[in-house]
């Protein structure tokens, strides 16, 4: 009896070949179909979960916009910046946004050079006798103020032959002003650089991260000179992704403000240099003066005049005296502007940025100091209805008189607005 003729004994070897299924003869390996079904179910569940999360976030975003419409009042419109490795952030060339808050509605248009200014020619025309580069933060940028009503534009309109290129960027500290000047100062065929010094621009100096963005900073080397501490390589990748993705929404700022309020409530929170810039120090240290020394070196190399535009409160009198003494000894211009600490000169209790009235007052002071020193004759190019609308509650002369009286009381007998008597280069 052969093997083939042997009777069936109840044991059959499994056929290792795949089985044919279906009319078309397709084949399947045992277990694969089950795994595919499990995978499809898992994918479906993940999709449902992701959709639920997105729907919840969208609902939360909508509720914040409806019930907390002003949660973004303290930040610029989304994607107006671009993250930058050397400066931390800068304005995005060609960007245009409308900034709407409870106090104002203003359009921000960024030119191709990456600044909130009109179209500019790099080469000076015959009608330009003096070109100034203005560096600063949101105050000089014109937060909430139409472009033509910023003090830089008003001064330019009042002094024929003068150009003031407004290169200010919201949130900048004095360190970023200097770095921006070092990067762009040689490009624009300028005669003078103007650095804005406020409590806010000084209070941001210690930080390497602020407003959820990295920033460069300076420290002192062994010789007491300002030494750049750059942003660590690769540190901006996540910051860039976060900013590009989230900056247009309101929900992240709502959550951030709630967390900040909770930290303040338990005494653990501290703001890092906002618009009002409340900082405890009232005297300048070696770092601030070393940064200004570096700015002076840049101005000398570029053959520029250098002027400090100082807007510090009376409590910072020691700092102002230090700045003025430092500037006088080094041939740097010193120009103090005085803005009354009254609500009529800021947007409101929740926004301490200079409004249009303050910008008009500052323009009066800057033009009165800058024009004669640079040999420029002022003209009145502001239309009369606008001038009446912007007329300060207290006349500019009264403000100047109070400032001069305060200076005399502190013993130096100098007026509020002093430009260095020994400029870095001769005025044109």
**Distance between CA atoms of 136 and 166, rounded to whole angstroms?**
8
Predicted pLDDT of residue 36: 81
Q: What percent of the chain has pLDDT over 90?
A: 57
Q: Quick one: how far is CA 277 from the chain centroid?
A: 14
Is residue 201 over pLDDT 50? yes
Is residue 415 over pLDDT 50? no
294 and 219 Cβ atoms separated by less than 8 Å: no
Q: Do you know the residue count of the chain?
A: 428
Q: What percent of the chain has pLDDT over 70?
A: 78
What digits encode the pLDDT tens for the residues 146-196?
999 999 999 999 999 999 999 999 999 999 999 999 999 999 999 999 999
**Distance between CA atoms of 29 and 20, rounded to whole angstroms?**
10
Burial of 225 (0-12, 13-18, 19+ CB in 10 A): middle
Strand spans (E) along 364-423? 417-418
Residue 30: which pLDDT band, with cuts at 50, 70 and 90? low
Is residue 392 over pLDDT 50? no
Residue 304: which pLDDT band, with cuts at 50, 70 and 90? very high
Mean pLDDT of all residues in 249-258: 84
Give the range with max mean pLDDT: 55-64, 246-255, 289-298: 289-298
32 vs 26, residue with greater confidence: 32
Q: Enter the tokens of residue 121.
A: 């020619």
Mean pLDDT of all residues in 235-255: 91
Q: Enter the tokens of residue 303.
A: 């053959």
Residue 15: which pLDDT band, with cuts at 50, 70 and 90? low
**Beta pairing partners, 396:** none
When mean pLDDT is compared across 35-44, 167-176, 382-391, the lowest value belongs to 382-391
Predicted pLDDT of residue 382: 53
Mean pLDDT of all residues in 287-293: 98
Domains of the chain in sequence order: 129-238+270-418 (3.40.50.1110)
Instruction: Give me the numbers of helices (H) and strands (E) for the chain, helices first please.
Output: 12, 18
Dihedral sign (CA 390, 391, 393, 395)? positive
Give the other-Cβ count within 10 Å of 26's Cβ. 9
**Distance between CA atoms of 87 and 16, rounded to whole angstroms?**
67
**Distance between CA atoms of 204 and 196, rounded to whole angstroms?**
13
């Amino acid at each position: 009896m052969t093997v083939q003729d042997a009777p069936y004994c109840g044991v059959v070897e499994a056929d290792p070949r795949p089985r044919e299924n279906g009319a078309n003869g397709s084949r399947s390996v045992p277990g694969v179909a089950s795994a595919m079904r499990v995978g499809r179910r898992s994918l479906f569940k993940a999709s449902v979960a992701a959709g639920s999360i997105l729907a919840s976030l969208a609902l939360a975003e909508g509720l914040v916009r409806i019930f907390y419409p002003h949660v973004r009042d303290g930040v610029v419109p989304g994607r107006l910046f671009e993250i930058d490795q050397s400066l931390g952030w800068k304005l995005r060339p060609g960007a245009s946004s409308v900034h709407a808050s409870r106090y104002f509605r203003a359009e921000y248009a960024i030119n191709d050079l990456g600044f909130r200014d009109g179209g500019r020619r790099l080469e000076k025309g015959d009608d330009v006798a003096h070109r100034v580069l203005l560096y600063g933060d949101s105050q000089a940028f014109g937060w909430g103020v139409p472009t033509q009503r910023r003090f830089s534009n008003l001064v330019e309109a009042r002094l024929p032959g003068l150009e003031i290129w407004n290169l200010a960027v919201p949130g900048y500290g004095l360190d970023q002003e200097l770095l921006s000047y070092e990067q762009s100062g040689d490009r624009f065929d300028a005669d003078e650089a103007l650095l804005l010094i406020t409590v806010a621009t000084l209070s941001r100096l210690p930080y390497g991260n602020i407003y959820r963005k990295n920033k460069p900073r300076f420290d002192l080397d062994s010789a007491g000179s300002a030494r750049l501490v750059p942003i660590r390589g690769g540190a901006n990748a996540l910051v860039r992704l976060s900013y590009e993705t989230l900056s247009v929404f309101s929900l992240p700022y709502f959550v951030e403000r709630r967390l900040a309020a909770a930290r303040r409530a338990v005494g653990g929170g501290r703001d890092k240099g906002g618009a009002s810039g409340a900082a405890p120090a009232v005297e300048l240290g070696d770092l601030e003066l070393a940064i200004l020394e570096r700015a002076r070196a840049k101005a000398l190399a570029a053959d520029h005049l250098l002027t400090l535009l100082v807007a510090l409160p009376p409590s910072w009198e020691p700092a102002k005296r230090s700045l003025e003494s430092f500037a006088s000894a080094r041939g740097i211009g010193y120009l103090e502007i005085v803005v009354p600490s009254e609500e009529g000169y800021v947007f409101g209790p929740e926004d301490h940025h200079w409004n249009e009235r303050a910008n008009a007052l500052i323009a009066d002071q800057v033009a009165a100091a800058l024009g004669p020193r640079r040999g420029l004759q002022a003209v009145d190019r502001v239309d009369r209805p606008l001038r009446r609308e912007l007329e300060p509650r207290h006349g500019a002369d009264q403000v100047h008189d109070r400032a001069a009286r305060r200076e005399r009381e502190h013993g130096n007998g100098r007026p509020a607005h002093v430009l260095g008597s020994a400029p870095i280069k001769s005025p044109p």
